[in-house]
Structure 1
């Protein structure tokens, strides 16, 4: 994509976002015409006062000229004020809508997108890059458009008044164009580096601040500070490089503008000496020259902002161009409940960026109301199975069926609404306990909440808190213990009341006493549900209706706890390693 097509594409994109503001844009355009008219007329009144009113020694005419200038200036101020108000409204509406669109688009991406993206970089794109686009639709941009209108009016007028002078001034315009082209290219590349390094800083901040316990316990503050310092230095150097071009650019343009002023002074000065021009015309021409140069000045001030916006637009476009691979099929079925079973039919899977299969032709069935446990060493494919059932990923080959229907035929929303998950790493939002328990659940009564708290063994803990359910838990639940987090998650699943339950090492990170307490809640949660349980501690799955031992993505053994112990295979080895 070339620079020109990028700029054209960006402008087309931005206009598409403000097409619903046509009325406001027409009003703003009308104001711009008014501003251009009054800016054009004021130098003519000044010329008349110098060439006519003052030589005539008519104080009345001078007074009328001054009053006219003040009246025009007042109208100019009002039009500028209201045009800024209108443009600010258009700008804010566009940016609010753009942020909504981007955020919704990001949320629609599949799980793989987030695994391959950096949070800090996404945050920069959704905030800083969007702000860079907003700066283009601003009062300053509006002033640039107004200046362009004035430029056209005045250039035509000057051609009609004095062709030779106008053409002499025009000589400076190609020079301005070439300077602009040269500096724009370098400023754009420099700000591209600034955006990239800013994203690195944001990503480092997000990672370090959410891992503060790890940093503290490993006494790694100095290393983290040094890493941040290096990123900070990199960003500083990139920004200084951008500013180097920008600071040379503006004075160079100003120098060319003074060359234009010198041309007017020399030409008009010669004309006044030989009686071909008046002093009033000289003053008017200098005013008009300034108005011709104002768009160029405004444009030079906008260049760095414009180049930043092009870079930001391309980064935003990357988000828009990302399409999820896991999507609803055409006319999806709504899954209302599990009636018979969940079955895997020759299911194989490998991650998009990894060719080796994680799962290899798995065949098994989980009957309704039964509990199936998955056992195996890390990397054997246990958690991957849960990701496939919830369609965080789609299978590479084979089929997963619910009640003999391929799960890809169900809508994603209804499929996931029928599955409850409790994992080792509990996801909690920054808010109150009640916010987290009600997350994703709608129209729940106080009685529903009370029953969920009771079932999750959380009621006594809530009663002991001064603010009860309205207690703030901090970011990622930092104010809660591991066991308390698990109980909040279990209460949330009780409220969801999904017929299919997945427990992915839900008690692996807890001590024995907490595990025993949590296990009581989990046992109640498992009642009358179809459950898939991944367990490192084999003591928690002895009552499972079926146990599958996985190794290298294949089923190595299968049976009940007693049957597998009696077979003296891999399961028995794992069991004896834990208990002996």
Structure 2
């Protein structure tokens, strides 16, 4: 899995997130215009206060007072309307951008290789797709984008107060570096604290996911108390991480507030002095204090969103960890569709070792398969047998191109697997395994998963072939019956037959049965065997079997041991040879 080395910085984060916003530029322009006008109106409002104090009150002019107050109310109404427009369209822009981002991350995740999912935690991926994306959404929130207006206000106000009284402007400006110094000191502390909190939250999510998906195992071994203790450990760790982050935040905010109060005290002292010496009017001082609040507001707002910025930065890094990954198994420039087979599949000197990330941290692991060569003739049934760990399932993953070969080649009617389009290859291979995957949906949803446009007549046809039609007809809702998460409302045999019906509907050229009946009892196996025969009829088939009684009629049997082919032939030939196959067979039936 190739990965980018882009640094996780605030500038990169804003560039990435606002790249989504730029897809709808008119909304961004509308918001910036609204925020600019809002800033100008906020600048004007203290002028009404100054005018009333310095001009209206001394004149005792009620008519003028009425006009000024009406003007103030009109300004406030316009300000409120613009604030509504800005907040609403910021929400529209935010939701659109974050939906695109979440979809992009989901698509990127789905495109990654099997190796990534085998080495990743489901709970952690869920946190990245939900909580981490939500944290990034705050960057495009009304509060965050209002900082644009605050910056505009800050510039206007600072120029104005400098013109009005440069001594007080310099005095208040001296306090600003202290705010940024405090920000720099606490930035890394808060960032590291929230990064640790996010990691412990992912661990907690993994534990919850594992518990909910393995509840039968937990209850059968009465391990509820053990799982509660383990979850409690992760929850307590997350609590400690959050407390540490909150502690830093609790120190940070009062320090910033103190600097703000210091600035207000300085202005009151200077302002009172200038009023006493008639260098400043009372109205100007009151307006000046209002403008100081406007100056401190953006700085205070910026420092207050430090918490969210740091959380977002942590989430951005976790999202980019996924977005930066690139699948290794991709279509080659000269890739072609899967051929219409007439000769079959050929494995030529195939060798493969699982990537280092999939191995134990200590010791070495030999090749999963080594120098394997055999043919899977067109229209015939080839069986793979051998002890667990002999490389049988690995070969099915290589045939489905879930991993790249280390050496050798796999050819479909003479066409190398690397030259075949991935989607076309997998559309023409149907796999039925002992690990049955069911959607949380209806029977119809599960059967037509590989062909979403299949008609009900086609679905009923394959259900008949899979020997489960009587069961489905007997259900009150028929094809619309909900089977529950992971098919919990069905028996193992019923789920297996539905998976066979799904493979039948796919109508693939190559069928792979990976110990499809290993988890069933003998009676269920016999009832399903007929469905499997319907599936393999007139198709090229590769059958991995632990129960050798199911492969007596295979056209050829390949015996594997320690990743190598050690024997091949028909059932009768291999029994006569009295080699590894005969030993496996005798161990099961004698």
TM-score by length of 1: 0.98
Q: Distance in 2 between matches of 1:213 and 1:131?
A: 33
Structure 1 runs of 4+ aligned residues shifted over 3 Å read: 1-5
Whether 1:488 aligns to 2:491 is: no
Whether 1:530 aligns to 2:533 is: no
Whether 1:318 aligns to 2:327 is: no
Relative distance call for 1:141 and 1:424 in structure 2 (3 A) is same
Instruction: Give unpaired runs (5+ residues) of structure 2.
Output: 360-364
Structure 2 residue aligned with 1:163 = 166
Q: CA deviation at 1:195?
A: 0.8
Q: Distance in 2 between matches of 1:271 and 1:302?
A: 36
Q: Distance in 1 between matches of 2:5 and 2:54?
A: 52
Kindly report which structure 2 residues correspond to 1:394-543, keeping only aligned pairs within 5 A, or say none: 394-543=404-553
Q: CA deviation at 1:15?
A: 2.0
User: Which of 551, 569, 588 is 1:578 aligned to?
Assistant: 588
3-state SS, counterpart of residue 269 of structure 2: helix
Q: Distance in 1 between matches of 2:407 and 2:580?
A: 27
Q: CA deviation at 1:142?
A: 2.3
Structure 1 residue aligned with 2:403 = 393
Structure 2 residue aligned with 1:560 = 570
Alignment check: 8 A CA contact 2:442 2:479 kept: yes
Q: CA deviation at 1:3?
A: 12
Alignment check: 8 A CA contact 1:257 1:293 kept: yes
Q: Distance in 2 between matches of 1:15 and 1:168?
A: 36
User: Which of 86, 91, 97 is 1:88 aligned to?
Assistant: 91
Whether 1:569 aligns to 2:579 is: yes
Which range is displaced more, 135-144 or 549-558? Answer: 135-144
Alignment check: 8 A CA contact 2:369 2:564 kept: yes
Alignment check: 8 A CA contact 2:339 2:413 kept: no
Whether 1:267 aligns to 2:277 is: no
Q: CA deviation at 1:442?
A: 3.5
Q: Distance in 1 between matches of 2:111 and 2:570?
A: 40
User: Which of 75, 88, 93 is 1:72 aligned to?
Assistant: 75
Alignment check: 8 A CA contact 1:84 1:142 kept: no
Whether 1:347 aligns to 2:357 is: no
1:321-355 per-position Cα deviation (integer Å, ceiling 9, x unaligned):
11111111113101142221100111000011146
3-state SS, counterpart of residue 18 of structure 1: helix
Structure 2 residue aligned with 1:61 = 64
Which range is displaced more, 7-16 or 451-460? Answer: 7-16
Structure 2 residue aligned with 1:31 = 34
1:151-199 per-position Cα deviation (integer Å, ceiling 9, x unaligned):
1100001111111100000110010010011111110010000110111
Q: CA deviation at 1:393?
A: 0.9
Alignment check: 8 A CA contact 1:371 1:532 kept: yes
Relative distance call for 1:4 and 1:334 in structure 2 (3 A) is closer
Structure 1 residue aligned with 2:385 = 375
Relative distance call for 1:545 and 1:313 in structure 2 (3 A) is same
Whether 1:231 aligns to 2:234 is: yes
Structure 2 residue aligned with 1:15 = 18
3-state SS, counterpart of residue 345 of structure 1: strand
Whether 1:551 aligns to 2:588 is: no
TM-score by length of 2: 0.97
User: Which of 236, 241, 245 is 2:244 aligned to?
Assistant: 241
Structure 1 residue aligned with 2:362 = none
Q: CA deviation at 1:445?
A: 2.4
Alignment check: 8 A CA contact 2:8 2:316 kept: no
Alignment check: 8 A CA contact 2:204 2:235 kept: yes
1:536-580 per-position Cα deviation (integer Å, ceiling 9, x unaligned):
000000101111110011111111101111111111111111111
Q: CA deviation at 1:5?
A: 6.3
User: Which of 41, 45, 48 is 1:45 aligned to?
Assistant: 48
1:389-428 per-position Cα deviation (integer Å, ceiling 9, x unaligned):
0001111100000011101101001101111110001011
RMSD over aligned CA atoms reads 1.3
Alignment check: 8 A CA contact 2:447 2:498 kept: yes
Instruction: Give unpaired runs (5+ residues) of structure 1.
Output: none
1:497-545 per-position Cα deviation (integer Å, ceiling 9, x unaligned):
1111000000000011100000111112111011000000000001011
Whether 1:144 aligns to 2:147 is: yes
1:262-318 per-position Cα deviation (integer Å, ceiling 9, x unaligned):
011101111112222111111101100100011011112210000111111111111
Alignment check: 8 A CA contact 1:422 1:506 kept: yes
Whether 1:333 aligns to 2:336 is: yes
Count of paired positions: 580
Structure 2 residue aligned with 1:124 = 127
Relative distance call for 1:424 and 1:558 in structure 2 (3 A) is same
Q: Distance in 1 between matches of 2:99 and 2:228?
A: 35
3-state SS, counterpart of residue 136 of structure 1: helix
